[in-house]
Amino acid sequence: MFPSKPGLTLLALAVAVLASACASTPTGRSQVMLVGDREMNAMGIEAFSQLKQESRVSGNTRQQRYVRCIADALIAELPAEWQELPWEIEVFQDDAANAFALPGGKVGVNTGMLQLADSADQLAAVVGHELAHVMYRHGAERFSQQILAQTGLTVAAVAANMQAPENAQLIMGALGAGAQVGVLLPFSRKHETEADLEGQRLMARAGFDPAQSVALWQRMQDQGGARAPTFLSTHPNPGGRIQALERELAISRPLYQQARAAGRVPGCRP
């Protein structure tokens, strides 16, 4: 039995959507993207605004300066197109050891993470990891996977053709995550590994000791006990991640040495 004319039209549209939605990560991995940067940035900006209204932003100016110093050093090492985002860095008063970055250049770090990461180098590993999620467009990729899995290619076609930021509410509603989009939605193992390794390279280029990314993961694992830190709970197989970061040091250490030789010595102090 052959598909009906509407069915053929939908099939052709679906094929066209997928064919036009191909992208790739900075390392060359193929991605399917059904939502563009403008839509994702609009979602991230709106979500961050809501988070600031609903959550307690830390009034500790020293903490804010410390985190912003680290983030600024890392952002300066991003490719030019990502440096141009309107980056905004906030510390949230929350004991959960967690951090996040949203599309649109919005970064949040909980005070609980400041207590867990006992040096600027370790905190740079956390922030670098989150910036890597943004640079690799993991939020858009994950959201595209959700569209395909939950609502089918019909909605995917609509989302792929959305052009105006005012449609962000429709996209957020389809996801069902509201203000938490990009925060609670877990990334895949592949995404986390990419963010771990790119974050380590990023911190090395900024002059932070990449070996401290390994130390941070070991610290999180040791302190996890029966109840792992929130940041760790979203990252499967911590032992394997530590091993991958240790292997990546063969690439990151030379980058760190080059950064130090060039005078990139971040002066961020708690």
132 within a domain of the structure (yes/no): yes
Average pLDDT over residues 92-96: 94
- Active-site residue (options: 46, 77, 130, 141): 130
Phi, psi of 189 (to 5 degrees): -60, -40
Q: pLDDT at residue 22 above 90?
A: no
| pLDDT 10s digits, 228-248 | 444 544 555 667 888 999 999
Domain count across the chain: 1
Which residue would you say has higher pLDDT here, 143 or 92? 92
CA distances from 200 to 151, 169, 249, 268 (A): 36, 34, 8, 18
3-state secondary structure of 209: coil
Query: Is 227 within the bounds of a domain?
Result: yes
**Any domain includes 112:** yes
Q: pTM of this prediction?
A: 0.77
Range of the domain at 67: 31-261
105 phi-psi bin (left φ>0, alpha ψ -120 to 50, beta other): left
- The verdict on residue 203 lying in a domain is yes
Residue 270 lies in a domain: no
Predicted local distance difference test score (pLDDT) of residue 237: 65
Q: Is 130 a catalytic residue?
A: yes
Residue 11 forms part of a structural domain: no
* 16 within some domain: no
For residue 146, is pLDDT > 70? yes
> Is residue 2 in a domain?
no
